[in-house]
């Protein structure tokens, strides 16, 4: 049964179940990126909060280099190339994506202010290219420290 507070986002019980089944971590794109970065020789922390006391979790974290990698989904983070507008409950989802974009910008700013480098990867990016970008950035930051 859909509770009253949930009625705003779920257009039906089936949609509600489907959305609740979406994983917050260890998604297929995350696993592929982690595997590719690992194969290139880097070790990292998974689903870690780079800044203590700030409820923002990065997908891959390189504490020594102070690099936080976020793998952003095209729908949830409003990819300029692949984001599609919801057909049902469109206003709710448009507002949710806008809030997510604002939170991403705020997260990036907070990390930068603390000496971290946020690195954002879209889920549609080629895994090998994204992994190489991560490795290059981490190695450059590590060498500079």
pLDDT (0 to 100) of residue 99: 95
The residue among 19 and 114 whose pLDDT is bigger is 114
Residue by residue, what is the 3-state secondary structure of 61-114? EECCCCEEEEEECCCCCCCCCCCCCCCCCHHHHHHHHHHHHHHHHHHHHHHHHC
Whats the size of the chain, residue-wise? 145
Beta bridge partners of 119: 69
C-beta separation of 10 from 94 below 8 A: no
Helix axes 28-39, 127-144, angle to 10 degrees: 50
In this structure, is residue 67 part of a structural domain?
A: yes
The residue among 129 and 2 whose pLDDT is bigger is 129
Domain count, the chain: 1
In this structure, is residue 19 part of a structural domain?
A: no
Share of the chain above pLDDT 90, in %: 62
* pTM to 2 decimal places: 0.82
In this structure, is residue 36 part of a structural domain?
A: yes
Q: Which two tokens stand for residue 107?
A: 């997260």
Number of H helices, E strands in the chain: 4, 4
In this structure, is residue 6 part of a structural domain?
A: no
In this structure, is residue 13 part of a structural domain?
A: no
Model confidence at 61: pLDDT above 50: yes
pLDDT (0 to 100) of residue 4: 44
| CATH number (domain holding residue 87) | 3.40.960.10
Residue 137 structural domain = 26-144
């Amino acid at each position: 049964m859909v509770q009253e507070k949930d009625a705003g986002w779920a257009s039906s019980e089936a949609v509600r179940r489907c959305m609740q089944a979406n994983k917050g971590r260890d998604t297929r794109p995350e696993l592929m990126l982690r595997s590719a970065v690992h194969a290139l020789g880097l070790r990292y922390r998974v689903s870690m909060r780079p800044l203590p006391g700030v409820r923002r979790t990065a997908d891959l974290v390189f504490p020594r280099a102070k690099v936080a990698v976020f793998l952003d989904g095209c729908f949830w983070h409003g990819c300029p190339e692949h984001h599609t507008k919801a057909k049902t409950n469109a206003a709710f989802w448009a507002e949710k994506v806008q809030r997510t974009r604002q939170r991403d910008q705020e997260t990036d700013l907070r990390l930068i202010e603390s000496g971290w480098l946020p690195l954002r990867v879209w889920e549609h990016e080629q895994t090998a290219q994204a992994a190489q970008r991560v490795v290059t950035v981490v190695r450059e930051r590590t060498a500079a420290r």
